[in-house]
Amino acid sequence: MERREFIKKMLKRTAIGAGVATAGAAGLVGYYQPRKELYGQPGDTTGGKDRLEGKRKVVVIGGGLAGISSALELARKGFEVTLIESSASLGGKLTGWDLDALGERFPVEHGFHGFFDQYYNLNEIFASAGVKQEVFSSAPGYPVIFKNFPEEIFGQTPKLFPLNVLSIIVQSKRLDMAAFLKNAKGLLSTVELFRYQYDKTFRKYDGIDFMTYCQRGDTLKAFVDTVLHPFADATMNRMEVLSAAEALRYFHFYFMSSPEGLAFRITNRDCMSALITPLEVRLKELGVTLRKGNTARRIVVSGERVSGVVVESPEGGTPLMLHLDPGAVPQKSFAAFTTADGVPVMVGRNGSGYAAYDGRCTHMGCTVTPDAKSGGFLCPCHAGRFDSSGNPVSGPPKAPLAPLAVTLEGNMLVVKQAGTAGKGAGEVIACDYCVLASNVRGTRELVKGSLLNRPEFESQVDALGEADPYAVFRLWLDRPLASSEFPFYTVSGYTYTDSISIYSDFQEPFISWAKKTGGCVIELHAYAIAPGDIRPEAEIRAAMLQELHTIFPETVKAVIRHELFMQQSNFSRWAPGDHAHRPGIETPFSNLFLAGDWVRVDAPVFLMEAAAFTGRMAANAIFRQESVTQVPLPIVPMQGLFA
C-alpha cells in the first residue's frame, strides 16, 4: 500500500482528519474504540441454580491468586472447599512477611506490584473480599530511564483511540510524529500491534521470538527501543526468548486495546495486609478449610475421575528416603542431594557421625543451599538463614529445618524422616472435584508424582517452563533520593536493573521511617537474568548497586543501613512454540481442572489477571457440571481494533 493511501485510510478510519474538532469526536467514540466485553457464549451466565443443591467437596491446590479466586467463587455457590497451600501464607507472588531490621519490624514482599484498571476479574475478587479502595493510590505516570538516551516520561494517556497512541508519541522526546507518519512500512508494522487476533496471531507469530519480530527491517527502531523493549521486559521474560505472539497479546491487553488506557494503581501499604489478609478472612467467612503449610503430593485417580488428593503435613508427612555413598558427603560442610521424589536434602558430617536436614525452607518451601561462610544454610528466595543445626537465625523463617535420621546400612548411608516408622503415605482428602492451581514447578512435581497414565497430558505439563531467574534488591539508605520525581521507574539498557521503586515515597511504614531518619527505602528489580549474566549473589548485588549509582548519582555517598537481596525463579515461561503444547482448563479427567497464568486460554489476559481469570474459569467448569449459574468473566476486546 502506498504511504499516502495508507495514511489517508488510517485517518479516515479513526476520524482524526480535517474534521477532528467536530465530526472527529463521533468517530473517536464510535466503532473503533475498544470496549469491555464478556467472555464466552451468550447464555453462559444465565439460567441454572444460584447455589449448589446438595453437597460437593472440592480440593483446590495452590493458595495464589488462581487458587484463591477459584475457592472464593466455589464457596460462594455452596461448595465445600479445602484450599491446600504448601507455604505458611496465602498469596503466591503477592504474599509477604515481616523483617526485623534497624530496631523495627518492616513488611516485605516479592517485589513491586502494579494493579491495572483492566484487571477486571482480579479487581472483582478484591471487591468481593471487602478490599477498600483507600489502600490503592494512582500511579502518576510511566517514567522510563534509558542507559543510552534521555529519560522518557509517559503520563496518564487518554482512553480514546488513537489519542492513546498519539499521546505516547507526542510525550516522547525521541519519537518524532512527522518521521513516524512518513515511514509507511513502519506505520504498517506498528498497526500490526492493533491486529491482534488469537488464532491468526499465534499461528503466525508464536514460532519466533519478540526480538526477531522487532528487528524486522520495517519496524521503527526508535519505537522499539523507547516503548516496546522496556515494557516487554515486564513480562518477566527476555525479548530474545519471549514468543512474539505472547508479546502481541501482552500489548493488546495492557494498552493497544484496553478501554482503560495506560493507568495502574499501587498499594500504599504492603500487599499482604492490604489484599491477601482480607481475601483470607473472606475465605474463612465462606467456610473454606485452609490447609496452609501442607503440600499436595499426589492426585488419586479412580477410572476417569479424581477421587482424592494425598497431602503431606508437617505433623505426619509422606516418608522421605535417600541412599548415599558415604564418600559423597564432604568432611567439614554440608552438601545438597535430592531424593527420587525431588525432595532436597542437606547432608554433612557431624564429628564421627552424620547430620541431615530436609532442604525445604520452612517459610515458603524454597530449596536452601549450604552456606560455606557460616556453615549453615541460606534460602536465596527470601534471604532466610539457618545455622548448622538447622535453626533459623535471620529472615522470615520461624521454624527450624526438619532434622532427618541418618544410618549406615552396609556400605550405604540411608537418610529418612525421623520417627516415620509406621506412618502411612500421607493423608488422603476425598473430593468430588479438584482444581490444580499451583505454579509451574508445583504443578509439574504433582503431576509427575501422581502416575496418572495419561501420556499426552503428562507431557504437556512436563513441558511447562519457568522464566529466567529474577532478583529483588531492597536498600535502606541514610539519605533521601533527592532527584527522583516518581515512585516507580522502568529502566532499560542495563545488565540487571529493569525497574526501581522508591518505597519511602508511596508505602507505609517506609514513608514514616524516611521522615524520621532522613533516609529512603529503594528497591531494584532484575526481571529476567540471562544465563550469561548469572553470577554469585555478591557480584550481582555489586553490579546492581553500581547501576543505581549511575542512574541516581547521589546514592554514591549514601550509607546502606540495611539491605535485603532475593533471587528466585518461579515466573511462567512464554517461549516461542510453548503455547500450542500448554494444557488448558480441562484435563483428561472429568472433574480435574487447571488454573494459573500458565494455562492455555484464548482470552486476552496476562499475569495476575490471567491467574484470577483462569481460577474463575475452573470454577465455572464445575458450575456447568452441577447446573449452577456461571460467573461472568469481563475482558478487554477479544481482538484488536484492526483485526
| Amino acid found at 239 | M
Euclidean distance between the first and the last CA atom of the chain, given in angstroms as a whole number:
17
**How confident is the model at residue 19, as a pLDDT?**
37
CB atoms inside a 10 Å sphere around CB 100: 12
Q: What is the dihedral of CA 545, 550, 553, 555, to 10 degrees?
A: -10
Specify whether the CB–CB gap between 524 and 502 falls below 8 A: no
pLDDT at 222: 78
**Stretch 353-380: mean pLDDT:** 87
153 close to 143: Cβ distance less than 8 angstroms? yes
Q: In this predicted model, what pLDDT tens digit does every residue of 7-18 receive, in sequence order? A: 344 334 333 333
What is the DSSP secondary-structure string of 95-135? -EEEEEETTEEEEEESS---EETT-HHHHHHHHHTT--GGG
* Among candidate residues 65, 223, 204, 202, the one with its CA nearest the CA of residue 144: 223
Q: Is the peptide bond before 509 cis (omega within 30 degrees of 0)?
A: yes
CA–CA separation, 135 vs 113, rounded Å?
A: 13
Cβ burial, residue 288 (10 Å; 0-12/13-18/19+)? buried
Structural domains of the chain sorted by starting position, each given as residue range(s) with its CATH number in brackets: 55-139+263-311+426-464+578-637 (3.50.50.60), 140-260 (no CATH), 321-417 (2.102.10.10), 468-568 (3.90.660.20)
Please report the pLDDT score of residue 415 as a whole number.
87
DSSP track, 237-294: S-GGGSBHHHHHHHHIIIIIT-TT-S-EEEESS-HIIIIIHHHHHHHHHTTPEEEET-
Q: What is the pLDDT of residue 593?
A: 98
Average pLDDT estimate for 536-547: 96
Strand pairing report for 305-312 and 152-154: unpaired
How many other β-carbons are positioned within 10 Å of the β-carbon of residue 138?
A: 11
Q: Is the pLDDT of residue 131 over 90?
A: yes
Nearest 5°: phi and psi at 429?
-100, 115
Q: What's the confidence (pLDDT) of residue 192?
A: 77
Task: Count CA within 13 A, CB hemisphere, residue 347.
Answer: 26
The phi and psi torsions of 616 (rounded to 5 degrees) equal -70, -35
Share of the chain above pLDDT 70, in %: 86
Q: Is 241 left (phi over 0), alpha (psi -120 to 50) or beta?
A: alpha
Question: Who wins on pLDDT, 595 or 231?
Answer: 595
Q: Quote the distance between the C-alpha of residue 368 and its chain's center.
A: 21
Quote the DSSP letter at residue 531: G
CB 444 within 8 A of CB 464: yes
Query: In this predicted structure, what is the pLDDT of residue 185?
Result: 62
Question: Which whole-number Å values give the CA distances from 14 to 5, 220, 408, 420, in the listed order?
Answer: 14, 21, 78, 70
Summarised one tens digit per residue, pLDDT across range 211-238 is 999 988 666 777 888 888 999 999 999 9
How would you label 454-490 residue by residue, b for 16+ Cβ within 10 Å and e otherwise?
Answer: beebbebbeebbbbbbbbbbbbbbeebbeebebbbbb
Partnered with residue 377 across adjacent β-strands are 370, 386
Q: At residue 357, does pLDDT exceed 80?
A: yes
pLDDT confidence bin for 622, thresholds 50/70/90: very high
Alpha helices for 184-243 (secondary structure H): 184-191, 198-205, 210-214, 221-223, 229-232
The residue to which cell 480440593 is assigned = 59
Burial tier of 266 (Cβ tally within 10 Å: 0-12, 13-18, 19+): buried
| 643/641 Cα distance (integer angstroms) | 6
User: What nine digits make up the cell of 399?
Assistant: 521454624
Q: pLDDT tens digits for 97-122? A: 888 899 999 999 988 899 999 999 99
Residue 492 near residue 539 (C-beta atoms within 8 A): no
| Average pLDDT over all residues of the chain | 87
What secondary structure does DSSP assign to 303-329, as a single string?
TTEEEEEEEE-TTS----EEEE-GGGS
Which residue, 135, 121, 110, is CA-closest to 37?
A: 121
Phi and psi angles of residue 99, each rounded to the nearest 5 degrees, phi first: -125, 125
Give the pLDDT confidence score for residue 424 in this predicted structure. Answer: 46
pLDDT of 188: 62
Distance CA 152, CA 150 (A): 6
Q: Is the per-residue pLDDT at 342 higher than 90?
A: no
DSSP code, position 554: G
For 388, the 3-state DSSP assignment is coil
Residue 282 CA to residue 573 CA, distance in Å, equals 32
Angle at the Cα of 247 from the Cα atoms of 246 and 250, rounded to 5 degrees = 90
> Is pLDDT at 308 greater than 70 in this prediction?
yes
**Are 243 and 250 spatial neighbours (Cβ–Cβ below 8 Å)?**
no
pLDDT (tens digit, 9 = 90+) per residue, 479-498?
999 999 999 999 999 999 99
Q: What is the DSSP string of 334-355?
A: EEEEE-TTS-EEEEEEETTEEE
Distance of CA 346 to CAs 215, 358, 378, Å?
Answer: 47, 6, 12
Grid cell for residue 260? 482503560
Q: Give dist(CA 377, CA 363) in Å, integer.
A: 13
Q: What is the pLDDT of residues 414-470, one digit of tens each?
A: 888 765 433 445 799 999 999 999 999 999 999 999 999 999 999 999 999 999 999
